[in-house]
């Protein structure tokens, strides 16, 4: 048995930062990781997928160069080179983490799967570790339903090993991961079909957002099947990582055949097999670790940070979890999860930036809501780039004048959204932006204009 002041289980976005901060404060710390440093973000999430998205955009720009007055020859995608570029970016991130952790005094990296034997004891292989404080940062995993049993289905994780262009990629699930991958592979050269059970894609977004993204994807040649359920799946071929493959889906709309299938219907917390029962840690019906507003579990010396706590499903919320815990433990601060606004982006092209409430939430709040909306075709930067899909939409409270939420679907929307978020965090009135002078020609300059023409939300 080896004693530590703290044990951090999982080296995802928040785990390493917290482990280093605790070690720098003089604690002895064990950081346990069963797979690879960096978790989902570094290995099969944000960093690799956005690297692939960049390559896909390069192919799209090259194919559309003539519309900008630039003539190029035939465009070919070398997927082995695309994957090699992605792998190099991932390796660099891993190496940076490895050097940072390895160079930190009082911190030991323990590789292997952790299983809690009690509220203070963790087994990793043949080793048993005891910690005064334990932090769970085990993340989430892709959901693959029993319908696909025996089928060589791709997930966002196994997709990272693909070094070829599928001839026909069936994307099961019309949400964030599915849409990004669908557009990416269409631009690489695949035929792509999205199979969505709901009546519209990304149903948690406003209807106008959903409809506009669907329109953009369909203009690029992606087929979207809505309101379709899958009853069975049959595979023919040599495996999910092979270019020679085949899959047949029996659906409510009839049979559907493709070369490969990506399952992108959601993610579940990685709590199974962690031994939380032995530790007395409470989980909810979906398997998420239950935490309070400061991320403590029902066991006072155990915290849950990152995707596993169900309080956010993003790299940035995971990192903020680390900031909350560290500030409260080490800085005498009182930071809370409820202090933050939901903010995220969908990295299709054009991207979607979202912060705060959507329309349904604004209506449910019973406030007097006013909304401003402008098409991206009014944005000089968008017209100059020839990318005018989308719009800017901002909602405000008519009485307090505070901004309630915004959606920016369009070129650079994932960056511009932060100018709105910062004003929201300042609890400043929307006039802080509406009366501001922004540089021309930019996307940001249309945000003040949008807020100068507010109408009741109907």
Which strand ranges, in their side-by-side order, compose the sheet holding 455-456? 343-346, 352-356, 403-409, 391-397, 369-375, 455-456
Contact 343, 358 (CB under 8 A): no
Exactly one of 301, 316, 438, 440 is catalytic; name it: 440
Question: How distant, in Å, are the alpha carbons of 85, 219, 280, 338, 425 from that of 293?
Answer: 40, 44, 19, 7, 18
Q: Is position 260 annotated as part of the catalytic site?
A: no
Listed residue (168, 169, 172) closest to 145, CA to CA: 172
* CA 14 to chain centroid: 15
The DSSP code sequence of 130-141 is: EEEEEEE---EE
CA torsion sign, 41 to 47 to 50 to 52?
negative
DSSP 395: E
Contact 91, 253 (CB under 8 A): no
Contact 162, 79 (CB under 8 A): yes
Our separate counts of H helices and E strands in the chain read 13, 22
Between CA 58 and CA 119 the distance in angstroms is 51
Contact 43, 51 (CB under 8 A): no
Between CA 192 and CA 186 the distance in angstroms is 6
- The HSE-up count of residue 137 (CA atoms within 13 Å, CB side) is 37
Q: What angle do CA 345, 47, 220 make, to 5 degrees?
A: 55
Question: How distant, in Å, are the alpha carbons of 65, 113, 389, 400 from that of 124?
Answer: 54, 6, 51, 53
**Residues recognised as catalytic:** 440
């Amino acid at each position: 048995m080896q004693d530590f002041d703290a044990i951090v289980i999982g080296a995802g976005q928040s785990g390493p930062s917290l482990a280093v901060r605790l070690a720098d404060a003089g604690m002895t710390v064990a950081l346990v990781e069963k797979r690879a440093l960096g978790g989902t973000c570094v290995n099969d999430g944000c960093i690799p997928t956005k690297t692939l998205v960049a390559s896909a955009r390069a192919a799209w720009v090259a194919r559309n160069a003539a519309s900008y007055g630039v003539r190029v020859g035939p465009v070919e995608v070398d997927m082995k080179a695309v994957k090699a570029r992605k792998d190099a970016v991932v390796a660099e991130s891993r190496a940076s983490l490895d050097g940072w952790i390895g160079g930190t005094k009082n911190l030991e990296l323990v590789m292997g799967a952790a299983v809690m034997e009690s509220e203070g004891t963790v087994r990793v292989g043949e080793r048993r570790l005891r910690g005064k404080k334990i932090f769970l940062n085990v993340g989430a995993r892709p959901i693959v339903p029993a319908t696909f049993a025996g089928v060589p289905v791709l997930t966002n994780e196994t997709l990272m090993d693909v070094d070829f262009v599928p001839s026909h990629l069936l994307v099961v699930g019309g949400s964030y991961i599915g849409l990004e991958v669908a557009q990416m592979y269409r631009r690489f050269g695949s035929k792509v079909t999205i199979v969505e059970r709901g009546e519209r894609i990304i149903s948690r977004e406003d209807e106008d957002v959903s409809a506009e993204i669907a329109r953009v994807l369909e203009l690029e040649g992606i087929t979207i099947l809505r309101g379709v359920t899958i009853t069975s799946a049959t595979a023919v071929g040599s495996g999910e990582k092979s270019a020679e493959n085949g899959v047949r889906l029996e659906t409510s709309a009839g049979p559907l055949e493709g070369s490969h299938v990506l399952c992108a219907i959601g993610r579940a917390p990685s709590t199974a097999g962690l031994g939380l029962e032995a530790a007395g840690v409470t989980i909810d019906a979906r398997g998420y670790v239950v935490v309070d507003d400061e991320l403590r579990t029902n066991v006072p010396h155990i915290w849950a940070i990152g995707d596993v706590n169900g309080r956010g499903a993003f790299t940035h919320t995971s990192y903020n979890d680390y900031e909350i815990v560290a500030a409260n433990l080490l800085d005498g601060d009182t930071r809370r999860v409820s202090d933050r606004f939901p903010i995220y982006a969908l990295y299709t092209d054009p991207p979607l930036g979202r912060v705060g409430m959507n329309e349904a939430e604004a209506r449910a709040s019973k406030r007097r809501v006013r909304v401003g909306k402008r098409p991206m075709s009014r944005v000089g930067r968008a017209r100059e780039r020839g990318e005018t899909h989308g719009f800017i939409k901002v909602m405000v409270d008519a009485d307090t004048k505070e901004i309630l939420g915004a959606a920016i679907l369009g070129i650079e929307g994932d960056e511009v959204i932060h100018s709105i978020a910062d004003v929201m965090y300042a609890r400043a009135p929307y006039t802080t932006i509406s009366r501001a002078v922004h540089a021309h020609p930019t996307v940001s300059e249309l945000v003040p204009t949008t807020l100068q023409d507010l109408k009741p939300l109907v």
